[in-house]
Amino acid sequence: MELLTARQRLLSARRVAVLTGAGISKASGIPTFRDAEGLWKDFNPLEYATPEAYARDPEKVWNWYAWRYRKAVEAEPNPAHRRLVELEARVGEGFLLVTQNVDGLHARAGSGRLVELHGNITRARCERCQKRFPLPPPEAFNPPPTCPACGGRARPDVVWFGELLPPGAFERAERAFVQAEVALVIGTSAEVEPAASLGRIAHLSGAYLIEINPTPTPLTRLADCALPLGAVEGMEALLGGDAPPLVEDPGGKP
């Protein structure tokens, strides 16, 4: 009954905000960070994902990101990514997808109303002039890249621990979650701030909150519907089969 209610609420909503974390890309072969087989099991984030680590040893950091970049390019969007593209098309302008992921799979799947809170691993950013530009294909990539505008050395265009989010990114995300009728949080530990606050913000603003995650998180107790599933299985349970038509309001508007 809870799942049916969640499905009906999601499919009738005109304002939907979605937050995704590493769990949604796991089925595409992209490692997560915090589970038993996650990246932080073998790699210390303080050695690879901070400005200080990059300043100490840029070659070490770039080699790690080049490896992750290659994995991201080799990966393909999975059915959970594609279901969110379908949901965006259904909801229209009232939809926003906010992701903590840097793998670029949401954009490759076709998501357009998208905020990449933590940047994108397929791009670099010049340390001198701040120009962003795409990395060459992995087979032709020899880090570090050089800025095409000024010739300066470039860093990965991602947000490291201790850095600010891209200007305006969180404000846009927060606004969507405040205004959402339904908030959907998928595959995130709900531990990394400020992204972790978005589900709570939606809940406090009166949204119907749906969580899809195989293990409990700090958000689970607040969720109106918590599906203890992986992202693909959860999205299929929530949106599988032919979606019913949008529920009409009393005024007869679709």
- Same domain for 103 and 219? yes
Q: Token pair of 223, please? A: 């969720």
CATH number at residue 42: 3.30.1600.10
- Same domain for 61 and 177? no
Cα–Cα–Cα angle for 156, 29, 143, rounded to 5 degrees = 25
- Same domain for 108 and 222? yes
Residue 200 identity (one-letter amino acid) = R
pLDDT category at 39 given cuts 50, 70, 90 is: low
| pLDDT score, position 31 | 80
Is residue 105 situated within a structural domain? yes
- Same domain for 130 and 202? no
| pLDDT score, position 123 | 96
CA 122 to chain CA centroid, Å, is 15
Cα–Cα–Cα angle for 248, 250, 253, rounded to 5 degrees = 45
pLDDT category at 34 given cuts 50, 70, 90 is: low
Rounded CA separation 98/206 (Å): 19
- Same domain for 59 and 184? no
- Same domain for 49 and 114? no
The domain in which residue 218 lies consists of 1-30+76-118+165-249
pLDDT category at 77 given cuts 50, 70, 90 is: very high
| pLDDT score, position 41 | 56
- Same domain for 85 and 197? yes
Residue 215 identity (one-letter amino acid) = T
| pLDDT score, position 116 | 97
Domain count, the chain: 2
Residue 155 contacts residue 54 (beta carbons within 8 Å): yes
Q: Say whether 17 sits in a helix, a strand or coil.
A: strand
Is residue 100 situated within a structural domain? yes
pLDDT category at 35 given cuts 50, 70, 90 is: low
Rounded CA separation 48/31 (Å): 15
Task: Point out which residues pair with 154 in neighbouring strands.
Answer: 126
Size of the chain, expressed as the number of residues it contains: 254
pLDDT higher than threshold 50 for residue 26:
yes
Is residue 132 situated within a structural domain? yes
DSSP 179: H
- Same domain for 174 and 66? no
- Same domain for 12 and 98? yes
| pLDDT score, position 47 | 83
The tokens 């049916």 sit on which residue?
4
The DSSP element (H or E) to which 67 belongs, if any, is helix 58-74
Task: Point out which residues pair with 100 in neighbouring strands.
Answer: none
CATH number at residue 242: 3.40.50.1220
pLDDT digit string, tens, across residues 179-230: 999 999 999 998 889 999 999 999 999 999 999 999 999 999 999 999 999 9
Is residue 254 situated within a structural domain? no
Task: Summarize the confidence of residues 69-78 as an average pLDDT.
Answer: 95
Helix 79-91 to helix 231-239 angle, to the nearest 10 degrees?
Answer: 40
pLDDT higher than threshold 80 for residue 249:
no
Closest CA to 98 of 224, 208, 188, 36: 188
* Backbone phi, psi, residue 146, to 5°: -110, 135
- Same domain for 70 and 81? no
Half-sphere exposure of 175 (CA within 13 A, CB side): 9
Active site members = 118
pLDDT digit string, tens, across residues 90-123: 999 999 999 999 999 999 999 999 999 999 999 9
| pLDDT score, position 241 | 56
- Same domain for 106 and 212? yes
Give the list of residues 6+ apart from residue 95 with CB closer than 8 angstroms, or none: 15, 16, 17, 18, 87, 88, 113
- Same domain for 99 and 10? yes
Domain boundary among 129, 158, 187: 158
CB neighbour class for 109 (10 Å; exposed up to 12, middle 13-18, buried from 19): buried
Residue 227 contacts residue 210 (beta carbons within 8 Å): yes
